[in-house]
Amino acid sequence: MSLLNTDYPVQLTHNGQAVEAAEIGARQLAVLNPDGFACARDEISQWPGYKPSPLYELDAVSRTLGVGGVWYKDESERFGLGSFKALGGAYAVVRLLKRELVSRGICNNEPSTQALLDGVYRGHLREIVITCATDGNHGRSVAWGCQLFGCGCVIYIHATVSEGRRKAIAAYGADVVRVPGNYDDAVRQAAKDAAELGRFVVSDTSYPGYMAVPRDVMQGYTLMAEEAFNQLPKGIIPTHIFLQGGVGGLAAAVTAQAWIRYGHQRPRCVVVEPDQAACLYESANRGEPVVVHGELDTLMAGLACGEVSLLAWDVLSEGASDFMTVTDDAAVDCMRLMADGRACHHHPLVAGESAVAGMAGLILAGQRDELRNALGLNADSQVLLIGSEGATDPELYTQLVGRSAEAVLGETV
Q: Are 169 and 83 in contact (CB under 8 A)?
A: no
Q: Side chain identity at 332, as an amino acid letter?
A: V
Give kind and range of the element (H or E) at residue 375. helix 369-375
Question: Which of these is catalytic: 73, 74, 85, 393?
Answer: 85
Distance CA 332, CA 311 (A): 30
Question: Which of these is catalytic: 73, 74, 98, 135?
Answer: 135
Q: Are 158 and 133 in contact (CB under 8 A)?
A: yes
Q: Computed over its alpha carbons, how large is the radius of gyration of the chain?
A: 20
- DSSP state letters, 277-340: S-HHHHHHHHTS--PPPS----S-GGG---S--HHHHHHHHHH--EEEEE-HHHHHHHHHHHHT
Q: Are 293 and 248 in contact (CB under 8 A)?
A: no
Residue 3 per-residue DSSP state: S
- DSSP state letters, 97-157: HHHHHHHTTS-SSPPPHHHHHTTTTHHHHTT-EEEEEESSHHHHHHHHHHHHHT-EEEEEE
Distance CA 96, CA 88 (A): 12
Coil, strand or helix at 382: strand
Distance CA 37, CA 219 (A): 6
Q: Is 85 a catalytic residue?
A: yes
Distance CA 375, CA 365 (A): 8
- DSSP state letters, 21-43: S-PPPHHHHTTS-HHHHHHHHHH
The number of residues in the chain equals 413
Q: Is 329 a catalytic residue?
A: no
Instruction: Report the candidate in 352, 367, 359 with the shortest Cα–Cα distance to residue 383.
Output: 359
Distance CA 406, CA 41 (A): 31
Pairing verdict, β 11-14 and 322-326? antiparallel
Point out the residues that are catalytic: 85, 135
